[in-house]
Amino acid sequence: MTTNGGSEPVFCTIVPPHILNTLARHEDPAVSGPAQHTLLLDAENRTRRSLAAEYGLRAAPAVRAPSDQPLRTIYDAEHRTALPGTKVRAEGSEPGRDASVNRAYAGLGATFDLYLKAYQRHSIDGDGLPLDATVHYDEGYNNAFWDGKQMVFGDGDGEIFVDFTHSIDVIGHELTHGVTQHTANLTYYGQPGALNESMSDVFGSLIKQYSLGQTAAEADWLIGAGLLAPSVSGTALRSMKSPGSAYDDDVLGKDPQPATMDGYVRTGRDNGGVHINSGIPNHAFYIVATTLGGNAWERAGQIWYDVLTGGELKEKAFFDDFAQLTVATAKERYGDGEELQAVLKAWERVGVPITPRARL
């Protein structure tokens, strides 16, 4: 097990953060406003979120019930890095000539659909949050990320990666970071960080399966299939079915994901190996889904969704905390049946103990 020694946010302003904190609480909005603004700008993502909650800066909840239709906007960064960029497609408008824009728009829609139809969740915050995405970020940029408010997609360099909008599970993955941020808010470091990553892979894969109408047996259980350029030896970036097998390439190296706790990687890099150790809870989900059969988003997905959004999962949860909650949820929702047995078997197979662990 790693220790959860999260990194400290870095403030880049001249005014020390404790002074800004005091100013931000000031009665006079002329004083508190700019200080809050500076704090919001300068704090890193998590800090920005907690401050926003503390100072009540979040948008007031809509009075009316949220819509069953998404509210999508796609922006084009035009190969620069200013966000969000130029607005190029709004909700309801026809597809344009830019395939990246159209793929992002469709992927946002597919993500909205799964959350609404399978889990009755209205958008990523459960309250109809507009879905924004920027394509063509930077030049040859080999990444996609969630910046706390929107999704950002690079075009890939064409040598290792192609355009990140090509993979619908990547779009679902990024938006699920938003769902996690608005629910359990798992700390993005160490085991809670790997759980955060795993939630995004699980629901990213489910979004792909739901949109293709695939059962657990039919699904490829790959993350980022179709993202690797033709010259790279590999099928995808991660495999939930067989973690560690997604790629093995001269330039990229070998997929480092473990499937079980025996292979747990202790590292400070990549926020404590969040993209490495996510293979363990990923594989547990795969076992539950394929043991139960049928549509993975139904019973397996429902149990995972309940735990993620149920309010009991702590920000600094470890794998066994999460496992324990999936067991309790399976029992609560489905009784002492095959769902519970599948969940117990899955955690046993990946080596995560499901008995409560005493913690100092």
Partner 1 sequence: MRIQVRRTGGFAGIERCAEVDTSGRPDAAEWHALADQAVAAGGSAPPAGVPDGFRYEITVDGKTVYCADPRLTEEQRKLISRVLKEGA
Of 143, 212, 231, 294, the one binding partner 1 by CB under 8 A: 143
CA distance linking residue 320 with residue 184, whole number of Å = 15
Measured distance CA(4)–CA(316) in Å, rounded = 8
Q: Which of 44, 91, 298, 348 binds partner 1 (CB under 8 A)?
A: 44
Q: Establish whether 79 is a catalytic residue.
A: no
Question: For residues 304 and 347, which CB has a smaller minimum distance to partner 1 in the complex?
Answer: 304
Q: What are the distances in angstroms from CA 344 to CA 21, 44, 352?
A: 46, 37, 10
Judged by CB under 8 A, does residue 253 bind partner 1? yes
* Token pair listed for 133: 């995405």
Residues in CB range of 145: below 8 A, 6 or more apart: 151, 152, 174
Indicate whether 142 belongs to the interface with partner 1 (CB under 8 A): yes
Q: Which is nearer to partner 1, 243 or 302 (CB)?
A: 243
Instruction: Find the shortest distance in angstroms from Cβ 178 to partner 1.
Output: 9
Give the 3-state secondary structure percentages of the chain, helix then strand then coil, rounded to 5: 45, 10, 45
Q: Which amino acid is at 135?
A: V
- List binders of partner 1 among 76-135 (CB under 8 A): 81, 83
Q: Taking CB under 8 A as the criterion, which residues in 222-251 touch partner 1?
A: 224, 237
For residue 345, give every residue at least 6 positions away whose Cβ sits within 8 Å of its Cβ, in sequence order, or none: 287, 291
What DSSP character marks residue 251?
A: T
Q: Which of 4, 21, 38, 47 binds partner 1 (CB under 8 A)?
A: 47
Q: How many helices (H) and strands (E) does the chain have?
A: 11, 9
Residues 271 and 268: their CA atoms lie apart, in Å, by 6
Q: Hey, which residues between 145 and 204 contact partner 1 (CB under 8 A)?
A: 145-148, 152, 161, 164, 170, 173-174, 177, 181, 188-189, 196-197, 200
Question: 3-state DSSP call for residue 283?
Answer: helix
Q: Which is nearer to partner 1, 274 or 317 (CB)?
A: 274
173 is catalytic: no
To which H or E segment does residue 153 belong?
strand 151-154
Q: Contact between 256 and partner 1 (CB under 8 A)?
A: yes
Residues that bind partner 1 (CB under 8 A): 6-10, 12, 44-47, 81, 83, 138, 142-148, 152, 161, 164, 170, 173-174, 177, 181, 188-189, 196-197, 200, 224, 237, 252-253, 256, 269-271, 274-276
List the catalytic residues.
174, 275
